[in-house]
Structure 1
């Protein structure tokens, strides 16, 4: 197994989640409803944590959905699985959430699919932004921006009640 170095421990991760939740609420203070869409699997686990914080601090109605992508079949009807109804997003503010933003391909395909609805506003949130873009997409809310080499890997591990971020 490759050696891994702890970058952010559980306590700091939860501080970043709380800060991201506050930023989302403040950025959308005039919205009545927010829809958080977590990208399966780890992005959805991160989205659940953000969702719980937004519910605590915000006055908006907030809901949580998931989207799963088969990156080899994103243009096939079976390549993207959204847990909700796209029509239900019409006129709403959507926050697309993933654990790590690297090349941008995952966020790009998720956003592309969700734009099948007439969304009022869309933002993105990630725990770690690596800034190795291949697509013109950015994180509006990021817990940590990290410069890494292309050979390095960021692993977000969710175990029991803990979340830790490692450089592998």
Structure 2
């Protein structure tokens, strides 16, 4: 996907989020470092442009290879809140599964997941609610999502 295609995908994803969360008091967008944060910022801008739903942006940090410690940029009470976990690519589902950890002590109204690229090799029971594109790839393939500052410039299969 080139930058223009990514822009269209992000716009569509933001509109889907708004449409599926009409009536929500607010949305808490949680970007998973690194690229998930860039995506979350882009999605948030589009939501703010096309909707009156208030949004909050949090950053989630974890080691994707060994996700033992999961930290948020800010602690808050997530009870009754709509949370959207955002990452660039889903491979096995492990990152999104462990990203749920900080929210398990609360009773959120909903937890949704959004990825730019979904791969079909999940090992965990995680399927993104929102996806820019879904690809059937081999285990040897790798998806690169490129960012430049706060802009997503492309996503490529290698």
Which residue of structure 2 lines up, in the alignment, with residue 40 of structure 1?
33
Q: Deviations over 1:77-130 (max 9, x none)?
A: xx111112142x221100000000110000000013322222111100000001
Deviations, residues 39-78 of structure 1 (Å, cap 9, x unaligned):
001111111111111111122111110100124251xxxx
Residue of structure 2 in register with 1:159 after alignment: 148
Aligned to 1:127: 116
Query: How many Å separate the matches in 1 of 2:40 and 2:49?
Result: 14
Q: Which runs of 5+ in 1 are unaligned?
A: 1-7
The reply on whether 1:85 has 2:75 as its aligned counterpart is yes
Alpha-carbon separation, structure 1, partners of 2:36 and 2:67: 19
TM-score, structure 2 as length reference: 0.94
Cα distance in structure 2, aligned partners of 1:99 and 1:92: 23
After TM superposition, the runs of 4+ consecutive aligned structure 1 residues lying more than 3 A away are none
- Number of the residue aligned with 2:54: 61
Match of 1:116 in 2: 105
| Rounded Cα–Cα distance in structure 2 between residues aligned with 1:73 and 1:146 | 24
Q: Secondary structure at the match of 1:64?
A: strand
Are positions 1:95 and 2:95 aligned together?
no
Bigger Cα Rg: 1
Say whether the 8 Å CA contact 1:86–1:117 is kept in structure 2: no
Distance in 1, Cα, partners of 2:12 & 2:155 = 17
Aligned with 2:19: secondary structure?
helix
Q: Which residue of structure 2 lines up, in the alignment, with residue 4 of structure 1?
A: none
Report deviation, 1:162.
4.6
Q: Residue 52 of structure 1 corresponds to which residue in structure 2?
A: 45
